[in-house]
Each structure stands twice: as C-alpha cells, then as structure tokens.
Structure 1
C-alpha cells in the first residue's frame, strides 16, 4: 500500500528489489538466485574468455583479484571515492593533470608510465645499475613533491569563517502510529526565534501504511503549517533521520514514502529559506507527546497564543 502524491509529477522507474526503489547488486543477486535463467547467457564471448584465462593463471590470488577489480573499475581511485562522497577532490596527486580514474592511473598518468618503464628496464636488464634507477625514481618523487607544494601554495590558507547560524522560527514534528488500526497522529510544535512556543497543532491520519509514512505525513503537515502561518524563513525539525534526509535530498525519492516526500519538496518554493534538521527523540518530547496524546484520545488540537496547554510531562516546554 503506497500513499499517493497530492501534486502531479512524471512517472519514474522503481526497482522492486529494494525498499528504496534504487537498484543494488545485493537485490539483483538475490533475484538471480531465485531465477531459472542462466546469467552466463548475457555475458559476451570475449568477456567470458578473458575471465576464464584470468582465473586459470598460476599466480597469487591477490594479483588476480586486483586485475579483476581493475577490469570492473572497483579500485579505490579518487574518482570512485569522490563518487561515493569519501573525497571532495579527484585530481591525480602524482601529475596533477587529470582526474584519477583507472584509465588515468594505468595508462595516461605520465609519472606512472615513466615509473613502470623504469621498472621494466630494470627487469629486462637494459639499465646499467640499480643505483641509477633509484636516483631517477627519487628525482621524480622530488618533482612530484614540488607539484604538491605548488598546488598547496596556490590554495588559500585562510579557513572560511564559520557563520553562526541565526536562530530561525522552527516547527518541531513527530508522529505516533497505531499498526492495528493503520492510523497515525502528527504532533507539531511551533517555536519563535527565542525558543518559546507560539502554537501547537495535532492532526489525525487514516490508512497509514507504516511508521515511516506516519513520520513523512508529520513532516508534510509541518511544512504546510509553516506556509499557513506566513513564515518565509523556517526550520523544520524532526527525530526521524530517514525522513529528514529524504527532505534534504533534491533527487526524486523512490521509496514507499516517495509520494509524500515529493509533496514536501513541492512546498519548498513557498519559502525564502527552509531547513530540515534532525534532532534526537529526547530533544523532541513536546511534539512526540502531543502526537501520542492525540492518537490516544482521537482528538485533534490547535492551540495558538501565549498560554498553551501541552500534554503532561512537559515541565519546561519553552526550552529548546
């Protein structure tokens, strides 16, 4: 049971093997285990011959595995690490002339090509002495260090000043979920720049498929409430890291709550600035207890003004 989006959007392809809707090798492997089709049918003859020869070579397994990784571009080059957000810079540190991918490392990098040529000469006995080869290698290492120093000097050494984030009005949201009735409640607590509660609201939802959907509905209601209250700059804060991460992401979400996330993202244009932030559950007790109490009593609430009566247990409701 998938929730439907309230806004119109184009159809997208979703991989049914994963809950996220994105393809993964793990899910494909599980599907192949259940399939009766031989996967070797899809491999080209040249590819099969290459790997057959590779695995039959009489050499250490670690070398064969390394060659296999190179063939599939699985080695940790800077380009691959940047793709996985491990690094921010993918330029080759040996030559500084291009992106460090598998092709550059083993074919295009001039320093790498030269070092391999020197090693080949030594292996074939065409070089006079090992001392000369060592001297040449050291000279190129010094040249490499000079390239690194030049690159570092060209960059500014002054760290950017960290801006103190100005306190914005914030809406804290949380959800309570009843799996037996497929019902949920959204608890919303609005605080001003000083951290004082100025409004609180709770909404009941029917036909809710999962706790993740309940949290997503709460995030959507928090975004709508911010628009209704006329905020142009707003922080929307919740204790569901999954929902917060999806709201921050600009890419199309393909999970079971993708339609709700799409609705939230479509409302961002109503704000001059909106930030989605995660906090632990212990720091979101007001919205959590409001949602829990609403689901228990099955009564929606909307309170606004200086004096607010939140559920019991909120001894210090006005503190962030």
Structure 2
C-alpha cells in the first residue's frame, strides 16, 4: 500500500470514529430527552408527536435542525457578526417602507444597474445619471454626481466628508455614535429620496431639484412624527390605565392565580397557587416541587391544573383562573391548538372545568401574578408540597 493510500485510510478511520462519537453523544442526549417526556395520566389513544417541535408537529425545518445536530456536535457559528446591529435601522422612527429600503441598501440588494447586469437582466452596468462607472448601491446613493449635489445642500454634508467605506451599515453604526437620532432618521430618509430621484430619472427621464428632495425628506419625517404622536400618546394612556397589580374578582367568585418557576440545572420546577376572594383576602396558598420537562409552558399548565384541583377539593363553584402564560390561556380557551405534550395537561384542565358551575381563564401580566410567581420560586427550595388554608406560616405571609 502506498503512503498516500495509508494516509487516506487513516483519515477515513478518523472520520468514521468522529461520526460514531457524535452519534453516540446525540443518542445519549436524545435518550435523556425521551426519558424526560411527560406521560398522560389517563388512558389515551397513541399518536405520533414530534418532540423537537413546540407544537408537536413534524416540519422540514425541525427535521433539518435535528439532522444538523446529528452531523455537527457543536452548532456552527454565524460568520456575520453584525446580526445584532440592524437595530440602527429597524428602531428608527421613520416609515416602514424607508426602513425596508435602508435594509436593502445595506444588504446591497437594490435593483441598481450593477446588480441587474450581474443577473443578466440588462446589457450594461453603467450609471445612467452621471455616465461614470458601474452603478452599485454606494454609487447610486453616495458617490454619483447627482447624489453628491443632494448631500452638498444637506445639513448633514459635514458628516459625509470622511465617508470612504462602501459598507452602509457600518457607516450608519459609526454615525450612531456622533449624530443624534433625528439626524440619522433624516440621513436615512435622504438616502431614500435620492433613490426616488434616481428612479424618476431612469424610468421617466425627470431631473428633480436637490433642494426639493431635501425638503421632501424633512417633510416625510415630520409628517410621520405627527401621525405617530397621537398613537404614542394613546399608548401611554393605555399604559397608565392598564392595571399594574392584582384585581379582585366579582362578588361570588374566587380568583386562582397560578405560576411556575424553573431551574434548568437541577431539572426541577416549582408551582405556586394563590386563591383569593372578592375582598382580596387570601383563602389558600400552595407550593409544590415538580419535574422540569424542558417546556416552560408545560409546567405553567401543570400549575394551572394543580390550582384547579385545590379549588375542587375546597368545593369552590365560581372561579377565575389567571396565568401569565398566553399559550396556556389560549389553549384552555381553545383559541389555538397543539399536538405537543402540553395538550395532556390542558385536557385534564378541560375535564376539571366540569366541576365548577362558573369558570373563566384569563391571561395577565407578571405584575398581576406576583404572589403566585413568588410562591413558585419558593417551591424550588422545598422537597415536598404544602397547601395552607387560612393559617399561613410567616414566610408565606411575607409573600402574600
């Protein structure tokens, strides 16, 4: 056997060994996940559930992710380190179409002559406005003679004197450190009106005055700010009127607040339940430690089920169940469907509903569910469950 063949054989053996190690590690992790899958408490028909999807349904995307995990023990890192920097565009207070334009410009996917020529859509890549050089995104918006006339008349002219990079996103990030938010918004809108003027010339042979274009950019931003102001004010009023704390139920009802806290390292979860009347008086409190299956919504549904079990044992008839999990509330109210394991807990809750003459489920914010959340966190440090009726220990009284 030649030296080259021996080297090839050794490389092949090493690759096969690495593949086996990766598969063994994957199967080990997979076995742990399988053992942690919760089971329904009542007898049900068997059905196929894809455990790697939140809704329990197989998709090509989720299958591809599993295949990647099988092939690569460590997920590949993204080569684009700028992924978190797009907020410089998306967080601007300008029309959405201008944000999308700026994103396209930064990604260099505008239909410039250069891009169209590369795709063999047009015959030449030369700029039609100045006739000098290939028209790429940077040329069309910055370095073209027609674009320069706009920038020279702009209040932001000084900012462009030292622009040398063709990386538009990088330049916007640099301007973010030296310009105000309003200036950056005007800058991006000016880029948009320059592109607007470029299209008017290319498709309609119209030459627009640079001063009119700058006035248009300022008018667009000013008009958008005026139209957004009432909405922002309305949103502030809603925030002021929005309840920041627990609200008592109507007379004759009892309110059950439930929540769950998780500890991923110890793979356990804590459940908390608080039952109060229409005067705000706490009738019952409960904590319980449970197993964490890896799905936060599942353990929040488990907390909801346990809270209803306590209410049933107390003989309550009219109850309002509150949870800060929108998914759990929507599933119980049948606003959405799922095939994942959480459905088993929801089915138990649906069965428990029959034991109450009046029953409601509401989604509330964390601030309205503070006591139940505090009890759930307390449950993480316990080894057994406790239910208190009226006679509460000091640490529970402190939470309530």
Q: TM-score, normalised by structure 2?
A: 0.41
Name the structure with the higher helix share. 2
Q: Which structure's relative contact order is higher, taking Cα pairs within 8 Å and 6+ residues apart?
A: 1
Q: TM-score, normalised by structure 1?
A: 0.50
